Amino acid sequence: MIQDIEPHVFKNQYERRSPEGEDFVFAFKGRNLLIKKDEDRIYVPRVKDISAAEDELIYIFAIDDKRFYIYFPAEEKEIELQGFEYATLRTLRAAQPMALSFAGETAWHLYLWYRDNRFCGRCGSRTQFHLKERAMECPECGNVIYPKIAPAVIVGITDGDSIVVTRYKGREYKGIALVAGFCEIGESMEDTVRREVMEEVGLKVKNIRYYKSQPWGFDQNILAGYYCELDGERKITRQEDELSVAEWITRDELQEQTNIISLTAEMIENFRRNGNINK
């Protein structure tokens, strides 16, 4: 998966640092990211390549000894750099090196949070960087705002050698998916699994088992993957406004998932190869 970048090490400890020439900078515009592309390889600009004031760069994390910043000017500004372009974030889903893709989507998650918290949601004053931890702080009312991470579940519904796959309506991603959805306040993740399965495909499930999780900065999520088994009627009632397809498919019919950056792809491939490992 995209976060599995071994032997590289992701270091997200909060620090306030001054940028150095060789450090990397992620600059965003809309849902696009400033990169240079060479087939599926991507390159990210360095501090020395761009003209940015020190206070326009926020240190976010390091991978090994490579440090990453986001470009965060007080007013929206665009960087123009020879050979680089603002490419859609989706580019990262099929780009090399994967550690840089992971860095890019995680930077995007942090960028959105910084962007959306320039002002205090309690009193409306301009916020400041917290000195000791990754948080924004309101100098007027003391409100401390931490990064927002939205939990969501991915669900593999199985019945013997079959699994329910879906296709979303009106999304850029056209491949097969699994039932998925955000946790609502007051729910356990298992509650979310039961509710989303019922809403999207109208099935009852049992034996809900946790599989793995994944940080998914593209949509500001932490994803938790669960497998579960059909409990009762096999007939699918598709949620028509969200899904264009929802169907049972057998392990033999599933195509090998070759690009396993997402938890969804990993869960589908795991089921294709190993069947229901929960039994």
Binding mask 65-104 for Zn ion (x = CB under 5 A): ----------------------------------------
Residue closer to Zn ion, measured from CB, 74 or 123: 123
Min CB(146)–Zn ion separation in Å: 15
Is the distance from CB of 139 to CB of 122 less than 8 angstroms?
no
126: contact with Zn ion by CB under 5 A:
no
Is the distance from CB of 257 to CB of 178 less than 8 angstroms?
no
141: contact with Zn ion by CB under 5 A:
yes
5: contact with Zn ion by CB under 5 A:
no
Residue closer to Zn ion, measured from CB, 94 or 123: 123
Omega prior to 151 cis, within 30 of 0: no
138: contact with Zn ion by CB under 5 A:
yes
Token pair recorded at residue 109? 């998650």
From candidates 9, 74, 94, 123, binder to Zn ion by CB under 5 A = 123
Residue closer to Zn ion, measured from CB, 122 or 148: 122
120: contact with Zn ion by CB under 5 A:
yes
Count of residues of this chain found to bind Zn ion when the rule CB under 5 A is applied: 8
144: contact with Zn ion by CB under 5 A:
no
Is the distance from CB of 115 to CB of 73 less than 8 angstroms?
no
Min CB(117)–Zn ion separation in Å: 11
Q: How far is CA 265 from CA 70, 120, 156, 219, in A?
A: 29, 38, 11, 17
22 exposure class (CB count in 10 Å sphere: 0-12, 13-18, 19+): exposed
143: contact with Zn ion by CB under 5 A:
yes
Min CB(14)–Zn ion separation in Å: 21
Min CB(125)–Zn ion separation in Å: 5
122: contact with Zn ion by CB under 5 A:
yes
- Provide φ and ψ at 166, rounded to 5°: -130, 165
152, β-bridge pairs: 182, 223
Choose the binding region for Zn ion from 73-81, 112-120, 197-205, 240-248 (rule: CB under 5 A): 112-120
Token pair recorded at residue 81? 């750099």
Min CB(118)–Zn ion separation in Å: 12
Choose the binding region for Zn ion from 83-91, 118-126, 176-184, 225-233 (rule: CB under 5 A): 118-126
Question: Which residues in this chain contact Zn ion in the complex, by CB under 5 A?
Answer: 120, 122-123, 125, 138, 140-141, 143
